[in-house]
Amino acid sequence: MGSEKHAKARVQTANTAAEHATLQSEVLEAKIQIIQAQVEPHFLFNTMASVEYLIETNPPRVSAMQKPLIPYLRAGVGRGIDIVKTYLDLLKMCMK
């Protein structure tokens, strides 16, 4: 009997450690998302200001600058659409 209790205690300890690691990972992910949410608007504002400046001073460079910007913006929109679709799917399941 004592060894069975000891085994259960070890399993419980392992489960607790796994839950703790999962929570730590989720906290880290949330912190990254917060930082990204703060940085992204500044990045976009600065990029658009650069585009506006380059339109007047160096038009060929505007084209080179917008080539990577367009896929970046598409990826952001796509990610947002995926999140909304997933959210709606979850809501549908809850409503049934």
- Rg (C-alpha) for the chain, rounded Å, is 24
More confident residue, 35 or 66: 66
Q: Which residue has the tokens 């679709």?
A: 85
Q: Taken in order 80, 84, 90, 94, is the CA torsion positive or negative?
A: positive
Q: What is the pLDDT of residues 70-89, one digit of tens each?
A: 888 888 888 878 878 887 88
- Of the ranges 22-31, 39-48, 60-69, 75-84, which is most confident? 60-69
Report whether pLDDT(24) > 90: no
The whole-angstrom separation of Cα 72 and Cα 78 is: 10
pLDDT in the model for residue 57: 95
| Interval 3-21 mean pLDDT | 85
Q: How confident is the model at residue 1 (pLDDT cuts 50, 70, 90)?
A: low
Confirm if 62 and 55 have CB atoms less than 8 A apart: yes
Domains of the chain, by residue range, sit at 1-57, 59-96
| Interval 29-45 mean pLDDT | 80
